[in-house]
Amino acid sequence: MSDQTILSFASKTAPAEGVVVVFAEEGPKLSPAAKDLDKKSKGLLSKAADITGFKGKKEQTVDLIAPQGLKYARLVFVGMDKASAYDTEDWLNLGGTVRGLLSGKEASAAHVFFETEGGDIKPADIASFALGALLRGYTFKKYKTKPRKKNGEAAEANDRTLKKIVVHCADPKAASQAFAPMRAIAEGVTLARDLVNEPANVLGPAEFAARAKALSKLGVHVEVLGPKVLRKLGMNALLAVGQGSARPSHVAVMQWKGAGAKGGEPIVIVGKGVTFDTGGISLKPAAGMEEMKGDMAGAACVVGLMHELAARKAKVNAVGIIGLVENMPSGSAQRPGDVVTAMSGQTIEVLNTDAEGRMVLADCLWYAQGRFKPKAVINLATLTGAVMVALGKEHAGLFSNNDDLAGRLIAAGDVTGEKLWRLPLGPKYDKMIDSKVADMKNTGGKWGGSISAAQFLQRFIKDGTPWAHLDIAGTAMSSVDSEINRSWGSGFGVRLLDRLIAENYERP
Ligand code: BES
Ligand code: MN
Ligand code: ZN
Per residue in 174-213, pLDDT (tens digit) is 999 999 999 999 999 999 999 999 999 999 999 999 999 9
* Residue 62, SS3 per DSSP: strand
- CATH 3.40.630.10: which residues of the chain? 183-504
Query: Ligand 1 centre from 299 Cα, in Å?
Result: 16
> Which CATH superfamily, name and number, covers 6-148+159-172?
Leucine Aminopeptidase, subunit E, domain 1 (3.40.220.10)
351 pocket-lining for ligand 1 (C-beta < 6 Å): no
Tell which residue, 362, 378, 402, has the closest CA to residue 498.
378
pLDDT of 27: 94
Confidence of residue 15 (pLDDT cuts 50, 70, 90): confident
Which residues are within 8 A (CB) of 152 and not within 5 positions of it... i.e. 6 or more apart? none
- Give residue-wise pLDDT tens across range 95-126: 999 999 998 777 789 999 999 888 889 999 99
277 pocket-lining for ligand 1 (C-beta < 6 Å): yes
Residues surrounding ion ligand 3 at CB below 5 Å: 274, 277, 295, 357
pLDDT of 158: 44
**Strands, E assignment, 36-105:** 61-65, 74-79
Which residues are within 8 A (CB) of 388 and not within 5 positions of it... i.e. 6 or more apart? 473, 474
Query: Ligand 1 centre from 446 Cα, in Å?
Result: 13
Q: Considering the entire predicted model, what is its pTM?
A: 0.96
Calculate what percentage of the chain has a pLDDT beyond 70: 97
Cα Rg for the chain, rounded, in angstroms? 25
Query: Ligand 2 centre from 265 Cα, in Å?
Result: 33
> Crossing angle of helices 494-504/297-311, nearest 10°?
50
pLDDT of 108: 85
Euclidean distance between CA atoms 107 and 162, whole angstroms: 6
pLDDT of 257: 98
* Host H or E run for residue 343: none
Euclidean distance between CA atoms 208 and 303, whole angstroms: 10
pLDDT of 117: 87
Q: Which ligand is nearest to the CA of 442?
A: 1
Inter-residue contact 358 to 471 (CB < 8 Å): no
Report the amino acid identity of residue 57.
K
pLDDT of 21: 95
Inter-residue contact 25 to 80 (CB < 8 Å): yes
Which residues are within 8 A (CB) of 357 and not within 5 positions of it... i.e. 6 or more apart? 272, 274, 277, 295, 381, 382, 383, 453
Residue 389 has pLDDT above 70, yes or no: yes
Euclidean distance between CA atoms 17 and 370, whole angstroms: 59
445 pocket-lining for ligand 1 (C-beta < 6 Å): no
Q: In the chain, what is the straight-line distance between the N-terminal and C-terminal CA atoms, in Å?
A: 33
DSSP string computed for 107-124: -SEEEEE-EETTEE--HH
Nearest protein CA to atom 17 of ligand 1, as residue: 355
Euclidean distance between CA atoms 387 and 404, whole angstroms: 23
Q: Of residues 408 and 74, which shows the higher confidence score?
A: 408
Among 2-16, 145-159, 490-504, where is mean pLDDT lowest?
145-159
- CATH 3.40.220.10: which residues of the chain? 6-148+159-172
Tell which residue, 301, 361, 357, has the closest CA to residue 500.
301
Euclidean distance between CA atoms 274 and 271, whole angstroms: 9
- Give residue-wise pLDDT tens across range 427-471: 999 999 999 999 999 999 999 999 999 999 999 999 999 999 999
Inter-residue contact 293 to 198 (CB < 8 Å): yes
Write down the H helix ranges in 312-380: 357-372
Q: Report the chain's mean pLDDT, rounded to a whole number.
A: 95
- Cα separation values, 61 from 49, 58, 162, 317, Å: 9, 8, 20, 45
**Cis omega before residue 28 (within 30°)?**
yes
Residue 110 exposure: Cα atoms within 13 Å on the Cβ side: 29
- Give residue-wise pLDDT tens across range 318-369: 999 999 999 999 999 999 999 999 999 999 999 999 999 999 999 999 999 9
Tell which residue, 33, 22, 7, has the closest CA to residue 162.
7
- Give residue-wise pLDDT tens across range 118-162: 888 999 999 999 999 999 999 999 999 876 555 555 444 445 578
Inter-residue contact 433 to 441 (CB < 8 Å): yes
245 pocket-lining for ligand 1 (C-beta < 6 Å): no
pLDDT of 104: 76
Residue 288 has pLDDT above 90, yes or no: yes
Q: Which ligand is nearest to the CA of 451?
A: 1
Give ∠ CA 2-5-8 in degrees, rounded to 5.
115
Euclidean distance between CA atoms 72 and 20, whole angstroms: 7
* Residue 22, SS3 per DSSP: strand
Residue 302 C-alpha from the chain's centroid: 10
Euclidean distance between CA atoms 377 and 360, whole angstroms: 15
pLDDT of 150: 54
At residue 326, φ and ψ (nearest 5 deg) are -120, 130
At residue 268, φ and ψ (nearest 5 deg) are -115, 130
Query: What average pLDDT does this structure show over 230-259?
Result: 99
Q: Which CATH architecture has domain 183-504?
A: 3-Layer(aba) Sandwich (3.40)
pLDDT of 155: 46
Q: Kindly list the catalytic residues.
A: 284, 358
Inter-residue contact 17 to 71 (CB < 8 Å): yes
Site to substitute for ligand 1 among 295, 359, 432, most atoms within 8 A of C-beta: 295
